[in-house]
Amino acid sequence: MKHLQTLTEREFNTNETLQLLKASGPVFWSWGVSEIINYNNEGLLLRVKGHHHSGWVFIILQWNDTYRVHYLNQRYNVKDSASEIYFDMLVNEIDTRVEKIEDYK
């Protein structure tokens, strides 16, 4: 997990970001979140078990005040990433990569 430090950019209030995610209600919990870790106030780690991705979601705040999300396997290796995500797009970005199925209404 120590190599995650190379993925971070700056400190931010991870609790604020977590509150934003949880405000989506059932969408957040549909990701199968089983563990939440504040990584040195520089990242928010969520262990998820979704339809599309099972492993870790690592959320960081970039220098330009947008988020970058890394999708990690169980050993914390990066499988995919997305950047330049504004706060109002964060839930949809993660949901699309972790759980969202178009057939759900």
- For residues 95 and 50, what is the distance between their CA atoms, to the nearest angstrom? 9
Question: Phi then psi for 31, rounded to 5 degrees?
Answer: -75, -5
pLDDT of residue 92: 96
Token reading at 93:
């970005």
- For residues 4 and 73, what is the distance between their CA atoms, to the nearest angstrom? 12
- For residues 12 and 25, what is the distance between their CA atoms, to the nearest angstrom? 23
pTM of the complete model: 0.93
Confidence of residue 105 (pLDDT cuts 50, 70, 90): low
Q: What are 24-83's pLDDT values in tens digits? A: 999 999 999 999 999 999 999 999 999 999 999 999 999 999 999 999 999 999 999 999
Question: How many other β-carbons are positioned within 10 Å of the β-carbon of residue 62?
Answer: 15
